[in-house]
């Protein structure tokens, strides 16, 4: 029996230990580390707080698309085959030399994106790049500030390069009628078309469609992984996706595929058909056009969500893709409508590649608001994911997703 006079001391010691274990829990440590711009702790209902993934059944999707929301749907039984590294590396060994591809992360961003981007890169480093130290290329249509460069380099392990986008790549071509373009923006804004009134968004879509891979800082690389501010990486990536692509003759990798908002691309499909008719010699007999068409051959609006891409720069620089981009550019749809880089990339991939050359990274837990790609079942556990499989887009928004349609396509 504990002596009475020591009992208060024992109680105090127990309380101290209890508080210590609570504060040291991984979730509490994460939440305490999350603060807003004023240093205040984030609240759970804040948009930038750690997502709980417990969306109510009547959740409204922010994009103007009608979707069917299915809660607790049975997870699709698909399998991602990955090439494991032949070398074992301890997660704590920073200087271990691994075989690497000629690759870089590419990030189109602005100085004001610093906070959101640092959080995304910290997750990417923790889940993958702390073991591989791949370099980063940051691109901006305005000069990066010294603070931006310093703060970014604090959270990444790879070399950082900061590039200024040439003015001719982020401006109106001389064949665009700017008065007409302004009238289109005004009309689309009044009709509440998503990003319809944004001028800078159109320059961004055009740049991502046809120019980022031509920046001199990208010349030395063969592969790129696109990263955007505010995205989340929820699972351990215990192999090298670049080497997986290279070793398996893949050219384009994605995580999420969905249907485009038709009001943004009313003539994109017809323009693409005109290109194909005039350039039949560029279109291989074995392609992926089934992904973007329905059984009657009409455009189904499916596209790979290009905010996440791991892809071949040789493909993007190829004569056939450049010919397609130049044809679209001359048609004016980036400014006279609101063509996005996602459907443009996807139509290019579908025309010029076959299914064996395209890969769904089912095992990479990835979030770009408001959509998830999250591994299911045993894969979720093996990858130490903090996302929930039933929140993945192809499960939660099955009628709006195109991913399982891709999976079901036959290989050539």
In this structure, the dihedral spanned by the alpha carbons of residues 327, 331, 332 and 334, taken in order and rounded to 10 degrees, is: -50
Cis ω for the linkage preceding 370 (within 30 of 0)? yes
Helix H or strand E segment including 372:
strand 371-373
- Shortest CA distance to 53 belongs to which of 411, 402, 387, 395? 387
309 is catalytic: yes
Active-site residue, from 125, 260, 309, 362: 309
For CA atoms 200, 152, 155, 27, give the dihedral sign.
negative
Query: For tokens 């139509």, what's the residue?
Result: 347
Q: Classify residue 271 as exposed, middle or buried by CB count within 10 Å of its CB (0-12, 13-18, 19+).
A: buried
Which of these, 220, 190, 3, lies nearest to 102 by C-alpha position?
A: 220
Strands (E) located in 56-198: 103-108, 136-140, 160-164
Helices (H) and strands (E) in the chain, counts: 15, 12
d(CA 263, CA 185): 12
User: What CA–CA distance (Å, rounded) separates 206 from 340?
Assistant: 7
Active site residue ranges: 309
């Amino acid at each position: 029996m504990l002596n009475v006079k020591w009992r208060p001391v024992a109680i105090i010691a127990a309380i101290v230990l209890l508080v210590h274990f609570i504060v040291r829990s991984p979730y509490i440590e994460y939440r305490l580390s999350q603060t807003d711009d004023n240093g205040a702790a984030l609240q759970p209902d804040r948009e930038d707080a750690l997502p709980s993934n417990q969306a109510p059944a009547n959740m409204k999707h922010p994009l103007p698309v009608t979707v069917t929301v299915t809660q607790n749907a049975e997870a699709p039984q698909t399998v991602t085959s990955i090439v494991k590294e032949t070398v074992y590396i301890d997660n704590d060994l920073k200087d271990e030399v691994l075989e690497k591809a000629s690759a870089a992360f590419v990030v189109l961003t602005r100085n004001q994106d610093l906070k959101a981007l640092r959080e995304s890169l910290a997750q990417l480093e923790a889940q993958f790049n702390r073991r591989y130290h791949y370099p980063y290329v940051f691109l901006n249509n305005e000069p990066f500030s010294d603070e931006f460069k310093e703060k970014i380099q604090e959270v990444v392990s790879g070399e950082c390069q900061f590039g200024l986008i040439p003015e001719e790549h982020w401006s109106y071509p001389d064949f665009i009628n700017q008065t007409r373009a302004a009238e289109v923006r005004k009309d689309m804004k009044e009709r509440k078309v998503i990003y319809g009134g944004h001028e800078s968004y159109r320059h961004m879509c055009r740049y991502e469609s046809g120019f980022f891979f031509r920046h001199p800082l990208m010349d030395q690389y063969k592969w790129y992984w696109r990263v955007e501010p505010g995205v989340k990486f929820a699972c351990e990536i215990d192999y090298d996706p670049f080497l997986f692509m290279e070793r398996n003759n893949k050219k384009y990798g994605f995580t999420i595929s969905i249907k485009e908002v038709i009001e943004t691309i009313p003539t994109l499909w017809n323009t693409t058909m005109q290109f194909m008719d005039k350039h039949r010699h560029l279109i291989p007999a074995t392609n992926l056009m089934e992904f973007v068409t329905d059984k009657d051959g009409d455009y189904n609006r499916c596209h790979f969500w290009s905010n996440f891409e791991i892809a071949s720069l040789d493909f993007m620089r190829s004569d056939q893709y450049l010919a397609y981009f130049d044809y679209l550019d001359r048609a004016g749809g980036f400014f006279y409508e609101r063509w996005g880089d996602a459907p443009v990339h996807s139509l290019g991939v579908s025309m010029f590649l076959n299914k064996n050359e395209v890969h769904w990274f089912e095992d990479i837990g990835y979030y770009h608001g408001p959509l998830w790609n999250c591994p299911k079942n045993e894969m979720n556990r093996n990858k130490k994911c903090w996302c929930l499989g039933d929140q993945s887009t192809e499960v939660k928004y099955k009628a709006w997703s195109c991913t399982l349609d891709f999976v079901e396509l036959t290989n050539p």
